[in-house]
Structure 1
């Protein structure tokens, strides 16, 4: 199978603009050396480097499947950055995030998706729900949709709460074959009537080569932990094995999602 490569640029953060005080990760809008604004996710935040890994994998999978996600870039933070920041909490965050972080292109003027106001095409809703079941994304609920409407299109953001199996490496293959019970709280559940069609379609798009190429992009610095003897390469292999097993077992989470939808319609 031919090797596949993803192009993820690296930018340098030049100016901290404003914090986004939502949730516990404290991302921020910042300007980079390419002149664009980004929403930066910091590795020193409470959710740590694993949230960045989930963000990277989830975002690139979404793009591969034809869903709209703001451009994903690696964001380099210099050690001197933020020394003049008056807020001690933010200053500590920036100090602990020196090096490589992650950022999404800032969609200026975008509004938060509200299911009570904006309907969603059934095929699109099914695609988004399939992705969230696949990566075990618990954070796409009516309370926190993590979707934006920009230029009259639906954009996905914030996949940092996905892939929670990586908090318990030992049982990753067992977790790959589990249903996704949290789908019952998904904000698009009532619209997602074409899950079986999407499952068949996405099996023609995703393959081992794509999964390997995405996982290979995880920076080694994000995989290194003081309390672990596993090398970054071993951990990349675990992510790849999980995703491949999850794809092979997609019928399990599709069945759970269809059942959850029947309970509300």
Structure 2
């Protein structure tokens, strides 16, 4: 389960992302980047953040800690920005927070080198979850205390936007021609050998169990949140075994 906290103060919007995340303080004295259920992308973005972020963490990647943040819409009453005020009012209840890495810098491939091994691990993981948002234009990587951290996994597992075609969608190859780490000659074969055996039914059950029920409820075609959790796990388990053979654009 994810740690639970209550948002106590909205600090400022972070306009780098399309979903307008915000910087907030919580009752545990933490400072978090908050992503909202009322944002245009909806709760599936938050589900993807939890599933992929927690899976990455268990595979040994550096990912900011993820928590759930309870939001009282009253926090939006004093917000002068109308867009932010409406977002806060629409997001009462359970939202997602990620530890704010104060002082972190956006990854710049011209200023920070990544080993072939680390590049391979990140590329393999992105292929596993079909991350379409790790391009050189927008790496969604941070450098904090001299190490690379993975952030923003909302644009992953695109098959969960249409479960009827999920199996076919999840079987497609993954292209890395524009991947931010392609210039570092990623050792994908070594990454697959090390990481694929770790992606088990048990691990995926643990990861999907971290998703709050409220984000999984009332999904058409599924009777219970646990049915939907199993649907999230199946494509990932299948991709783990063979996705390294279907990565395109690495030459």
The TM-score range, normalised by the shorter chain, is over 0.9
SS in 1 for 2:80: coil
Q: Would you say 1:239 and 2:232 are equivalent positions?
A: yes
- List structure 1 runs of 4+ shifted beyond 4 angstroms: none
Is 2:6–2:71's contact at 8 Å kept on the other side of the alignment? yes
Q: For the residues of structure 2 that align with 1:194 and 1:214, how far apart are their CA atoms?
A: 26
- Which of 19, 26, 31 aligns to 1:25? It is 19
Q: For the residues of structure 2 that align with 1:180 and 1:85, how far apart are their CA atoms?
A: 42
Counterpart of 1:228 in structure 2 is 220
In structure 2, the gaps of 5 or more residues are: none
Is 1:69–1:155's contact at 8 Å kept on the other side of the alignment? yes
Is 1:148–1:157's contact at 8 Å kept on the other side of the alignment? yes
Deviation track 1:188-224 (CA, whole Å, cap 9, x = no partner) reads 0122431111101112322110001111222121123
Q: For the residues of structure 2 that align with 1:117 and 1:20, how far apart are their CA atoms?
A: 24
Q: For the residues of structure 1 that align with 2:185 and 2:195, how far apart are their CA atoms?
A: 15
CA 1:209/1:102 → structure 2, altered by over 3 Å: closer, same or farther? Answer: same
Deviation track 1:74-125 (CA, whole Å, cap 9, x = no partner) reads 1111232222212221111011111111111000011100112111011111
Counterpart of 2:245 in structure 1 is 255
Counterpart of 2:205 in structure 1 is 212
Task: Provide the alpha-carbon RMSD of the alignment.
Answer: 1.5
SS in 2 for 1:12: strand
Q: How does 1:183-222 map to 2 (within 5 A)?
A: 183-222=176-215
Q: Would you say 1:148 and 2:142 are equivalent positions?
A: yes
Q: For the residues of structure 1 that align with 2:8 and 2:132, how far apart are their CA atoms?
A: 33
In the alignment of these two chains, the number of paired residues is 250
Deviation track 1:26-85 (CA, whole Å, cap 9, x = no partner) reads 001100111111000111111111110111111111111111011111111123222221
Q: Would you say 1:115 and 2:109 are equivalent positions?
A: yes
Instruction: Name whichever of 27-36 and 188-197 sits farther off.
Output: 188-197
Is 2:141–2:148's contact at 8 Å kept on the other side of the alignment? yes
Q: For the residues of structure 1 that align with 2:237 and 2:15, how far apart are their CA atoms?
A: 35
Deviation at 1:229, TM superposition (A): 4.8
CA 1:125/1:96 → structure 2, altered by over 3 Å: closer, same or farther? Answer: same
Counterpart of 1:73 in structure 2 is 67
